[in-house]
Amino acid sequence: MVKSILTNKWVKLICGASNEDIASIEDLCAIYSAAGVDYIDVAADPSVVKAARNGMNWSKEVFGKDPGLMISISDGKDIHFRKAHFDPLKCPPNCPRPCENICPTFAINQNGISKNKCYGCGRCIASCPLNLISEYEYQLSKNSLKDILHKIKPDAVEIHTEINRADAFQKVANIIKNSGVKLKKISVSCGLAQSQGKPEDLARAFWERYEILADHEVQLIWQLDGRPMSGDIAATTAKAAVKLWENIRSLLPPGLIQLAGGTNGNTYKFLKRNQIPDGIAFGSVARKLVQPLIQETFDKNKKIYENPEKMALAIEKAKILLNPWKN
Ligand code: SF4
Ligand code: SF4
């Protein structure tokens, strides 16, 4: 059973729309399911979903905790749906390798970037003094969406959009509706970072999406994407996400409101006690917290849940992040 969002604040784990690190995803989903997240949001890829469900099933068997499964898609170009690339043969042998040092998922080594581990955060791109690293778009084509929905049968879909992309959003919404796949929730993720609009423009964009989704008969979630993929950087990113929420909260259409993009352990303390959103999504910060433990067990060819001591430690770490929202 999915935990009621009426008794607790809603918490979602974002595994990453371009994250295909199957081994880590299984462990990550096991850890955060056991720690009590309500939903887990993964790439729209059957093998990623299979790994996520393995981890969630473990949590269901051991802890009776079974979050919902959400897949992320986009109605156009979006930084959540990209990866980075460079040709290692072009790197000078004496480079101090800032790209490798800055990558939060250890995706870079002498052979270049591991496609599966890269989730497109973009930090390595800016770090290369020779500008050797480029990004490329990495997402599902709209033509495959119907098939993927049927294959995966997720509980929910998140559609990433930008303020001025209502037409593209409409097309994606139509595909979802015509697929016949019954969803419990549709989340709409949009922020100001890419479109350089004002809070009122963002509110207008959410109202347009509300009209488009009116006949879908699912619960709607408005995800405010403050500073995309930056939650593990600093407290300031949490502040930016909270500020966006404060500027826009009274302007949004009916539905759950969820903070994302820059959210981390500092978010809760920046919120006024009488102004807490319905929910929060944690991405890079959640992954970074437990990644070293996952990696340690992975190096011994094990899943983290095959090592009860490490698993207990990982769940405790995850709970520290979730606790303010689950009490
Ligand atoms: S730093 Fe970010 S974009 Fe670069 S390889 Fe690592 S995950 Fe990918
Ligand atoms: S920083 Fe640039 S030059 Fe140096 S290893 Fe990375 S990609 Fe190559």
Residue type, 310: K
Reported pTM: 0.92
- Whether the per-residue pLDDT at 90 is higher than 80: the answer is yes
Report angle CA 88, 93, 99 to the nearest 5 degrees: 55
Domain 10-79+140-326: give its CATH code.
3.20.20.70
Q: What is the predicted pLDDT for the residue at 2?
A: 38
Q: How do residues 176-216 score in pLDDT, each as one tens digit? A: 999 999 999 999 999 987 667 889 999 999 999 999 999 99
Report angle CA 210, 14, 281 to the nearest 5 degrees: 60
Domain 82-137: give its CATH code.
3.30.70.20
Nearest to 46 by CA among 12, 20, 10: 20
Q: What is the predicted pLDDT for the residue at 288?
A: 92
* Rounded percentage of the chain residues whose pLDDT exceeds 90: 80
Question: What's the gap in Å between 230 CA and the centre of ligand 1?
Answer: 12
Q: Is any ligand 1 atom within 6 A of the Cβ of residue 128?
A: no
Minimal-distance CA residue to ligand 2 atom 4: 97
Assign 4 a pLDDT band (cuts: 50, 70, 90).
Answer: very low
Is the distance from CB of 269 to CB of 2 less than 8 angstroms? no
SS (H, E, C) 165-196: CHHHHHHHHHHHHHHCCCCCEEEEEECCCCCC
Angle between helices 46-63 and 22-35 (to 10 degrees): 30
Q: What is the mean pLDDT of residues 87-100?
A: 97
Residue type, 202: L
Nearest to 184 by CA among 222, 156, 212, 209: 156
Is the distance from CB of 149 to CB of 179 less than 8 angstroms? yes
Residue to substitute in 91, 101, 103, 127 for testing ligand 2 pocket (most ligand atoms within 8 angstroms of CB): 91
State the span(s) of the chain assigned CATH 3.30.70.20: 82-137
Q: Is any ligand 2 atom within 6 A of the Cβ of residue 112?
A: no
| Residue 185: partners with Cβ closer than 8 Å, 6 or more residues away | 39, 68, 70, 155, 156, 157, 218, 219, 220, 221
Tell me phi and psi for residue 209, to 5 degrees: -65, -35
Is the distance from CB of 293 to CB of 314 less than 8 angstroms? yes
Partners of residue 289 on adjacent β-strands: none
State the span(s) of the chain assigned CATH 3.20.20.70: 10-79+140-326
Better-predicted residue by pLDDT, 27 or 6: 27
Q: How would you label 208-232 residue by residue, b for 16+ Cβ within 10 Å and e otherwise?
A: bbbebbeeeebebbbbbbbbbbbbb
Eight-class DSSP state of 232: T
Q: What is the predicted pLDDT for the residue at 228?
A: 85
Q: What is the predicted pLDDT for the residue at 1?
A: 37
Ligand nearest to the CA of 132: 2
Minimal-distance CA residue to ligand 2 atom 2: 128
- Whether the per-residue pLDDT at 5 is higher than 70: the answer is no
* Chain Cα centroid distance, residue 315: 19
- Whether the per-residue pLDDT at 254 is higher than 80: the answer is yes
Q: Is any ligand 1 atom within 6 A of the Cβ of residue 113?
A: yes
Question: What's the gap in Å between 136 CA and the centre of ligand 1?
Answer: 12
Measure the CA–CA gap between 282 and 305, rounded to whole angstroms. Answer: 21
Is the distance from CB of 279 to CB of 241 less than 8 angstroms? no
Two structure tokens written together for 180: 């016949």
Q: What is the mean pLDDT of residues 127-133?
A: 97
Measure the CA–CA gap between 212 and 167, rounded to whole angstroms. Answer: 10
Q: What is the mean pLDDT of residues 300-312?
A: 92
Is the distance from CB of 76 to CB of 162 less than 8 angstroms? yes
Ligand nearest to the CA of 128: 2
Alpha helices in the chain (DSSP H): 22-35, 46-63, 98-102, 123-127, 142-152, 166-179, 199-213, 235-248, 267-270, 284-299, 308-326
Ligand nearest to the CA of 122: 1
Q: How do residues 146-187 score in pLDDT, each as one tens digit? A: 999 999 999 999 999 999 999 999 999 999 999 999 999 999
Mean pLDDT of the chain: 93
Measure the CA–CA gap between 99 and 272, rounded to whole angstroms. Answer: 38
